[in-house]
Amino acid sequence: MRPSRPAPSDSPAQAKESEPIMRERIRFGVTAAALAGVMLAASACGGTTRGDDGGSGAGSGGSTAEADPDAEIPEGLAISFLPKQLNNPYFTVADAGGKEAVEELGGEFKEVGPSEATASSQVSYINTLSQQGSDVIVLAANDPNAVCGALNQARQAGSVVVTFDSDTAPDCRDLFVNQATAKDIARTQVEMIAEQIGGEGEIAFLSATPNATNQNAWLELMEKELAKEEYSGIEVVDTVYGNDDDQKSFNEMQGLLQTHPDLAGVVSPTTVGLAAAARYLSSSDYKGEVALTGLGTPNQMREYVENGTVEEFALWDPANLGYLAAYSGASMSAGRITGEQGQTFEAGRLGEYTVRADGEIVLGPPTVFNKGNIDDYDF
């Protein structure tokens, strides 16, 4: 059986620090080998037991155990991915990246999850994964607090809990693999919409679910960014939620344009929302009149960039995010890291990463996609 761990403490999270990173437009090709890894289909495998690692989670201030950077990652680690919802194109790619990493490590990959991204929909899956003996649970949280009880029970039973894409409260997990710093994601989206509407006019936000940790952090930081003097001509008139559902997001975009006839632009920091909004805008009279940007995948957004509905948008490589999350969890399970700030580890083809304050690991800065570079990407 897996060794149990002490219950996570309730100590407050450390303040996160983010170094400013310049907005980048990166142009590079995607190798056939990388693409093959990204598009691997997900498979379900049984759980195995984990080795003795001891210590409490990084989310509660870091483990008291000592890291061994040279520790061997044992084969057979059961690493389970629990996305916000299944059949979401973004998480399909992200989890495939996780599967690639797990196979490199000789582990056993599993993907489970709800069909709807509601606050409590992930709880039963966490309980089952813990009962099945998952060594590492990799979770994109639909709500920062609703899953905490289940996650802490899993941690006490011996599972390492890694959040990625959307965090929980820090004392509910061991590590958080962030796609980019929240400040950089917010800043990039504000820069894009400001440029596209000429620095003035009414804008609105089309977000995912009201409780999504990452979405709410980005919305708050975009509001703060827009409060700067350089954006004084821009007014946020509405925020709506599509719940990461294609049809609801489509309808919310339609409603925004009907409710606010003077709307100059919309920012949708969610891949499902951005694609649905673009689909509505592309066949409406507002095409070319209302700017649309946010976070999306190149494959979802390519036709809308090519037909002029969307000028540019941003994201990171979700396959790399899942890949890094798997390596992070495996490294902690093996004892290479304990979650202390400043510790480093190797993440396969992505190279070396450093644990930041409060157990955060950052993939890198967002990439902006437009007509000039979108065909260089395939995800």
**What is the tens place of the pLDDT at every residue in 113-152?**
999 998 899 999 999 999 999 999 999 999 999 999 999 9
Q: Is the pLDDT of residue 268 over 70?
A: yes
For the chain, what is the mean pLDDT?
A: 86
Is the residue at 378 inside a domain? no
Which secondary structure element, helix H or strand E, spans residue 234, and what is its range? strand 234-241
Is the residue at 115 inside a domain? yes
pLDDT value for 39: 35
> Are 220 and 198 in contact, with CB atoms under 8 Å apart?
no
pLDDT value for 332: 98
List pLDDT tens digits, range 33-45.
333 333 333 333 3
Cα separation, 267 vs 226, whole angstroms: 13
List pLDDT tens digits, range 354-364.
999 999 999 99
Is the residue at 379 inside a domain? no
Instruction: Compute the C-alpha angle 348/351/352, nearest 5°.
Output: 115
Is the residue at 370 inside a domain? no
E strands, 185-274, where?
201-207, 234-241, 263-268
> Are 337 and 345 in contact, with CB atoms under 8 Å apart?
yes
Torsion over CA of 220, 20, 69 and 91, rounded to 10 degrees?
Answer: 50
Q: Are residues 172 and 59 in the same domain?
A: yes
Three-class secondary structure of residue 124 per DSSP: helix
pLDDT value for 129: 98
> Are 177 and 363 in contact, with CB atoms under 8 Å apart?
yes
- One DSSP character per residue, 43-107 reads ------------S--GGGT--SSPP-TT----TT-EEEEE-SSTT-HHHHHHHHHHHHHHHHTT-
Q: Which of 277, 292, 315 is the last residue of a domain?
A: 315
Q: How is residue 242 written in tokens?
A: 């599509």
CATH of the domain at 352: 3.40.50.2300
Is the residue at 245 inside a domain? yes
Is the residue at 5 inside a domain? no
Is the residue at 15 inside a domain? no
User: Widest CA span of the chain, in angstroms?
Assistant: 62
> Are 145 and 192 in contact, with CB atoms under 8 Å apart?
no
Q: How is residue 370 written in tokens?
A: 């437009």
Q: Are residues 289 and 360 in the same domain?
A: no
> Are 329 and 160 in contact, with CB atoms under 8 Å apart?
yes
Q: Are residues 172 and 188 in the same domain?
A: no
> Are 99 and 42 in contact, with CB atoms under 8 Å apart?
yes
| Count of the separate structural domains present in the chain | 2
Is the residue at 13 inside a domain? no
Q: Are residues 117 and 207 in the same domain?
A: no
Three-class secondary structure of residue 144 per DSSP: coil
Cα separation, 379 vs 372, whole angstroms: 17
List pLDDT tens digits, range 281-339.
999 999 999 999 999 999 999 999 999 999 999 999 999 999 999 999 999 999 999 99
Q: Are residues 240 and 307 in the same domain?
A: yes
> Are 291 and 309 in contact, with CB atoms under 8 Å apart?
no
Q: Are residues 147 and 281 in the same domain?
A: no
Q: Are residues 196 and 260 in the same domain?
A: yes
List pLDDT tens digits, range 150-175.
999 999 999 999 999 999 999 999 99
Cα separation, 379 vs 377, whole angstroms: 6
Q: Are residues 207 and 310 in the same domain?
A: yes
Q: Are residues 157 and 242 in the same domain?
A: no
The DSSP bridge partners found for residue 137 are 80, 161
Under the banding of pLDDT at 50, 70 and 90, the label for residue 24 is very low
Q: Is the pLDDT of residue 178 over 70?
A: yes
Q: Is the pLDDT of residue 264 over 90?
A: yes
CA dihedral over 253, 321, 221, 186, signed as positive or negative = negative
Question: For 96, how many CA atoms within 13 A lie in the half-sphere containing its CB?
Answer: 19
Q: Which pairing describes strands 78-82 and 344-346: parallel, antiparallel, or unpaired?
A: unpaired
Cα separation, 172 vs 198, whole angstroms: 43
* 285 Cβ contact partners less than 8 Å away, ≥ 6 residues apart: none
Q: Is the pLDDT of residue 185 over 80?
A: yes
Alpha carbon distance, N-terminus to C-terminus of the chain: 39
Q: Are residues 290 and 327 in the same domain?
A: no
Of the chain, the percentage scoring pLDDT greater than 90 comes to 78
Task: Tell me how far CA of residue 176 lies from CA of 59, 120, 160, 326, 331, in angstroms.
Answer: 8, 20, 11, 11, 13
Three-class secondary structure of residue 198 per DSSP: coil
Q: Is the pLDDT of residue 188 over 80?
A: yes
pLDDT value for 84: 95
Under the banding of pLDDT at 50, 70 and 90, the label for residue 180 is very high
Q: Which of 290, 315, 340 is the last residue of a domain?
A: 315
Cα separation, 376 vs 373, whole angstroms: 6
Q: Is the pLDDT of residue 2 over 90?
A: no
pTM for the structure as a whole: 0.73
Three-class secondary structure of residue 158 per DSSP: coil
Q: Are residues 202 and 286 in the same domain?
A: yes
Cα 376 versus chain centre, distance: 22
Cα separation, 133 vs 6, whole angstroms: 17
The domain of 42 spans 32-180+317-364
pLDDT value for 378: 87
Q: Are residues 263 and 323 in the same domain?
A: no
